[in-house]
Amino acid sequence: MSYSTWGRVIAVLAFAVTSLVVSTASAQWRPTRDVEFVVPFGVGGGADLLARVVHKIITEEKLVPVPVAIVNKPGGGGAVGVGYVTGSRRADPHTLVLVNGSVQITPILNPQVRTLSEIQPVMNLMLDDFVFFVKADSPWKNLQDFARDAKSKPAKTYAFATGGTTDVMAVTVLGKSTGTELNTINFNSGGEALTALLGGHVHGTLGNPLEFMGHLNSKTVRAIGVFRDNRFALLADVPTVKEQGVNAPNFQMWRGIGIPKGAPADAAKYWEDVMQKVAATNTYKTYLKDNAAAEAPIAGAAFETFLANQEKLYRELLGK
């Protein structure tokens, strides 16, 4: 073989090796600078609590080679936080976003707002059922007490704190199922809603157990009904709303992780792998158990299908 022929062969091989290296590097994206973990809700709510557990696991298990910092951007049912992402971190793979049912419901209620459509879903982590909470000294001992009392008063006599649009929908479900009309007082997080309840500024709230477990254990709040088919093992003394004669649909809060829309696909895969590792840890499984939450790791295309079905459910509930 001539020298020129060998030269061509070597050139082709060199190109192939270079292409393989570039392709492999692209498929193995890793963060190279600090990561911002945006929580579009206030401190102390369910979204914030989950984000801090995920952050703790990522840090302690050294799952990411760079620092990760949580940034809370509450307001507008997730719209303020997502607006921050689209305005300053668009398509940036060094950004995580805590997403949940509120960022999906907000644009259904207000079509002018863009929230979940600006985020690339990566992985759902958990599901939270809704519980009817009152202050410990409330005269309502069960759902029948509440319904009887509310029906005897003018519409919107009783105020319910909400920490997001998913909570608003939960209160709507409660009102329609019991034939009552309630007044919703909106806050930026479940933590703020809890504070309003403890301060006696509202009569009740519908939230997820993880936001209330400490106060349930200290008996400063009381749970009087759960929106699921059976009782929680952790809250065995709290009956379901169906047990109490109210045929309310089951209603859950999904909670997951996304990255800004337009970020590279290999970055989405990287973060999916990280979240799979988070979900497999004993720390995370203990967190779910201690807070009566359901493990629900749904990733990639399956997560997008799940979200499409959730949106259909939300629209049906709002229609009813």
Q: Same structural domain for residues 71 and 90?
A: yes
In a domain, 91, yes or no: yes
pLDDT at 320: 57
With CA atoms as reference, report the closest residue to 125 among 210, 230, 212, 226.
210
CA distance 310 to 287: 24
The answer to whether 241 touches 223, Cβ cutoff 8 Å, is: no
Domain count of the chain? 2
Question: What is the per-residue pLDDT across 120-149, written as a single tens digit (0 to 9) for each?
Answer: 999 999 999 999 999 999 999 999 999 999
How are strands ordered across the β-sheet holding 221-226?
183-186, 159-162, 204-207, 131-135, 221-226
Q: Same structural domain for residues 137 and 222?
A: yes
In a domain, 87, yes or no: yes
Q: Same structural domain for residues 78 and 158?
A: no
CA distance 145 to 189: 27
Is the pLDDT score of 6 beyond 80?
no
Question: What is the per-residue pLDDT across 181-231, written as a single tens digit (0 to 9) for each?
Answer: 999 999 988 889 999 999 999 999 999 998 899 999 999 999 999 999 999
pLDDT at 9: 43
Is the pLDDT score of 233 beyond 50?
yes
In a domain, 287, yes or no: yes
CA distance 161 to 171: 9
Q: Quote the tokens at residue 30.
A: 């890793």
Strand 119-129 to 252-260 pairing: antiparallel
Hey, which residues does 184 pair with through a beta bridge? 160
In a domain, 246, yes or no: no
Query: For residue 93, how many C-alpha atoms fall within 13 Å in the half-sphere facing its CB?
Result: 16
CATH number at residue 205: 3.40.190.10
Domain end call among 226, 244, 266: 226
Neighbour-count burial for 134-172, b at 16+ CB within 10 Å, e otherwise: bbeebebebbeebbeebeeeeeeebbbbbbbbbbbbbbb
With CA atoms as reference, report the closest residue to 265 among 65, 27, 62.
27
Q: Same structural domain for residues 90 and 136?
A: no
First to last CA, the chain: 80
Q: Same structural domain for residues 42 and 55?
A: yes
Q: DSSP secondary-structure letter at 130?
A: -
In a domain, 209, yes or no: yes
In a domain, 122, yes or no: yes
Q: Same structural domain for residues 122 and 137?
A: no
Helix H or strand E segment including 90? none
Q: Same structural domain for residues 91 and 170?
A: no
How are strands ordered across the β-sheet holding 252-260?
68-72, 35-39, 95-100, 252-260, 119-129, 294-299
In a domain, 4, yes or no: no
With CA atoms as reference, report the closest residue to 94 among 256, 304, 264, 276.
264
Q: Look up the pTM and report it.
A: 0.82
In a domain, 174, yes or no: yes
SS3 20: helix
Q: Quote the tokens at residue 44.
A: 């102390």
CA distance 104 to 125: 16
Helix H or strand E segment including 136? none
Q: Same structural domain for residues 99 and 161?
A: no
Domain hosting 165: range is 131-226
The answer to whether 67 touches 35, Cβ cutoff 8 Å, is: yes
CATH number at residue 65: 3.40.190.150
Average pLDDT, the chain: 90
Ramachandran quadrant class, 115 (left: phi over 0; alpha: psi -120 to 50; beta: rest):
alpha
Rg (CA), the chain: 23
Question: What is the per-residue pLDDT across 87-112, written as a single tens digit (0 to 9) for each?
Answer: 999 999 999 999 999 999 999 989 99
Q: Is 43 exposed, middle or buried (0-12, 13-18, 19+ CB in 10 A)?
A: middle
